Amino acid sequence: MVGAPGLYTYGAMRIGGIIRDAGFHPKITRDLSQLHGERVFLSLYSTLHLLDPFIKETVRRIQHEGGECIIGGPVSSGPEMVLGELHPNLVVCGEGEEAVRHIMNGEEYANCPNCAYLADDRIVKTEQKRMQDLSFPPPLIPDDIGTQDIRGAQTYIETHRGCFGRCGFCQVPRVFGRRIRSRDLDEILREVRAFQKKGVRKIALIGGTGSLYRSKDGEVNSGAFISLLEGISSIMGQKNVSCPDIRADCLTDEVLEAVQANTIGWIFFGIESGSEKVIGLMQKGIPIDKVRDAIDQCRQFGVRPAGSFITGYPGEDEEDFQATKDLMEELSLDDVFVSIAEPIPSTPLAELICKQSPETDLVSIPHTGEYKGLHLTEAEARAFDLMLHADMCRPVPRITQDDQYKNYLNEARKQGSDIRNVTRLLRQYYPR
Ligand code: SF4
């Protein structure tokens, strides 16, 4: 059986397809209380899952019932934490398809690539491999996939792996590498048809940054990207496709025309900060002027630009934060997503945050400025301030109503609390 908490993740559906291809009859669930069986694959996509009492209990229950619990997904970048917190039988690390094939063939853990497990209280890691051929059997798509809503889409699909970027907060180049490996277009389109047949009405593309499909050495392959979008939209319909993430330095006029003609017409740029200093600390590699150009270019082609901003990055001072607010105002984006810098295992940011002294840790030091009465930490106050600011900076400014104000406040507090919990965990398993 295969499961993921609360969602049919693309990864869980892919693993289900591989198990079925090996001659078994797997079931998939997003309700962990339904997970049973002699071999259970659990896909976890947030470090917070490692602290979730229900997930801990689920793993214990499966083992108590005599089953073997195997955990994979984005949490597998920190196998020590997964083994230490959840005590599964096995962790499948990074690209897990090959490992699952070996496991389903009944091979010993020691002979399965990309695995980590405990033997005599010692962590054993097997050979770590990246797949050269991204051809897979069709995913295991549940009958009720049409009831799912992940930011407006019923599912995401993978078109390629890797990103040539080096952003210090991002897992993609660490897990999938910096060289782009792309899937075959016919296989992607077959998968899209299969999702549609099962009730998917809206589909979004994952893969780090959309326009890098079939690119080489950071050069956008506009022709391949256009064929990809045209192919998917010819099946799903233009208004039912989104390709949200594109790097600001990976745009061409042809890419924008294709986005405008074949998708809902939005691009989400990772802008992150208005301070060149912080952009440098993040190793983002995209000068702010390039972002300005990309947003102008989007508007020329009738594509609506949105952006994500990260605050509380180690080294961000008041002046840097003000520069981010100024940039947000100048760009007047159609939508904005704000987050506090999150230490995702295996990233340089996680290492930086773990090494910080308490006096410089923005997510822990109390805020003493404008929002002092709200008892926020400095990073929480900056995130909250940016969320409010974003409302004022839209093309048509929005007055933040009381409910929304409370939502922003709760969101900033939750992010701060989650990050402190994750940081504690990282420091416990990966001490300085
Ligand atoms: S450009 Fe996007 S996918 Fe690539 S490293 Fe940066 S954040 Fe990650």
pLDDT in tens, 73-105: 999 999 999 999 999 999 999 999 999 999 999
CATH number for the domain spanning 76: value is 3.40.50.280
Nearest CA to ligand 1 atom 1: 165
Nearest CA to ligand 1 atom 2: 208
> Which atom belonging to ligand 1 lies closest to the Cα atom of 245?
2
Residues 97 and 8 in one domain: yes
Mean of pLDDT values over 141-147: 97
Nearest CA to ligand 1 atom 3: 208
Give the number of other Cβ atoms within 10 Å of residue 89's Cβ. Answer: 18
Query: Can you give the pLDDT at residue 208?
Result: 63
C-alpha span between 322 and 327 (Å, rounded)? 9
Q: Does residue 386 lie in a domain region? A: yes
Q: Taking CB atoms and a 6 Å cutoff, what residues make up the pocket around ligand 1?
A: 163, 165, 167, 170, 172-173, 208-209, 247, 270
Residues 384 and 346 in one domain: yes
The rounded percent of the chain whose pLDDT value lies above 70 is 99
Give the number of other Cβ atoms within 10 Å of residue 30's Cβ. Answer: 18
Q: Residue 148 C-alpha to ligand 1 middle, in angstroms?
A: 26
Number of domains observed in the structure of the chain: 2
Residues 250 and 104 in one domain: no
Residues linked to residue 2 through DSSP beta bridges, in sequence order: 28, 41
Q: Does residue 134 lie in a domain region? A: no
C-alpha span between 146 and 129 (Å, rounded)? 34
C-alpha span between 311 and 382 (Å, rounded)? 7
Sequence-ordered list of residues with C-beta below 8 angstroms from that of 396, at least 6 positions apart, any chain: none
Of 125, 158, 191, which closes a domain? 125
Residues 181 and 109 in one domain: no
Q: How far apart are the first and last CA of the chain?
A: 38
The rounded percent of the chain whose pLDDT value lies above 90 is 93
Q: Does residue 368 lie in a domain region? A: yes
> Which atom belonging to ligand 1 lies closest to the Cα atom of 208?
3
Mean of pLDDT values over 289-307: 97
> Which atom belonging to ligand 1 lies closest to the Cα atom of 247?
1
> Which atom belonging to ligand 1 lies closest to the Cα atom of 170?
8
> Which atom belonging to ligand 1 lies closest to the Cα atom of 164?
4
Query: Can you give the pLDDT at residue 238?
Result: 87
Query: Can you give the pLDDT at residue 53?
Result: 97
Sequence-ordered list of residues with C-beta below 8 angstroms from that of 21, at least 6 positions apart, any chain: 137
- Report residue 430's pLDDT band, with 50, 70 and 90 as the boundaries: confident
Q: Residue 284 C-alpha to ligand 1 middle, in angstroms?
A: 8
Residues 284 and 371 in one domain: yes
Residues 115 and 153 in one domain: no
Q: Does residue 139 lie in a domain region? A: no
Residues 359 and 414 in one domain: yes
Indicate the pairing of strand 160-161 with strand 2-3: unpaired
Q: Residue 57 C-alpha to ligand 1 middle, in angstroms?
A: 34
- Residue range of the domain that includes 121: 2-125
Residues 425 and 362 in one domain: yes
Q: Does residue 135 lie in a domain region? A: no
Query: Can you give the pLDDT at residue 431?
Result: 76
Among candidate residues 287, 267, 269, 347, the one with its CA nearest the CA of residue 313: 347
Q: Residue 246 C-alpha to ligand 1 middle, in angstroms?
A: 9
Query: Can you give the pLDDT at residue 359?
Result: 87
DSSP 306-328: EEEEEE--TT--HHHHHHHHHHH
| Model confidence at 432: pLDDT above 80 | no
Q: Quick one: DSSP state of residue 150?
A: B
Contact, 213 vs 224, CB < 8 A? yes
CATH number for the domain spanning 174: value is 3.80.30.20
> Which atom belonging to ligand 1 lies closest to the Cα atom of 286?
1
Query: Can you give the pLDDT at residue 207?
Result: 63
Of 93, 125, 157, which closes a domain? 125
Residues 177 and 41 in one domain: no
- Convert the pLDDT of each residue in 157-202 to its tens digit: 999 999 999 999 999 999 999 999 999 999 999 999 999 999 999 9
Select from 158, 172, 271 the residue to mutate for testing ligand 1; criterion: most ligand atoms less than 8 Å from CB. Answer: 172
Q: Does residue 172 lie in a domain region? A: yes
Residues 402 and 308 in one domain: yes
Query: Can you give the pLDDT at residue 176?
Result: 94
Q: Does residue 132 lie in a domain region? A: no
Query: Can you give the pLDDT at residue 307?
Result: 96
Of 80, 95, 125, which closes a domain? 125
Residues 387 and 242 in one domain: yes
Q: Does residue 169 lie in a domain region? A: yes
C-alpha span between 296 and 347 (Å, rounded)? 32
Query: Can you give the pLDDT at residue 358?
Result: 83
The whole-chain average pLDDT of the chain stands at 95
Nearest CA to ligand 1 atom 6: 167
Q: Residue 329 C-alpha to ligand 1 middle, in angstroms?
A: 24
Classify residue 231 as exposed, middle or buried by CB count within 10 Å of its CB (0-12, 13-18, 19+): middle
E strands present in 207-265:
241-242
Residues 87 and 166 in one domain: no
**What is the dihedral sign for C-alpha 394, 399, 402, 405?**
positive
| Model confidence at 218: pLDDT above 90 | no
C-alpha span between 150 and 153 (Å, rounded)? 5
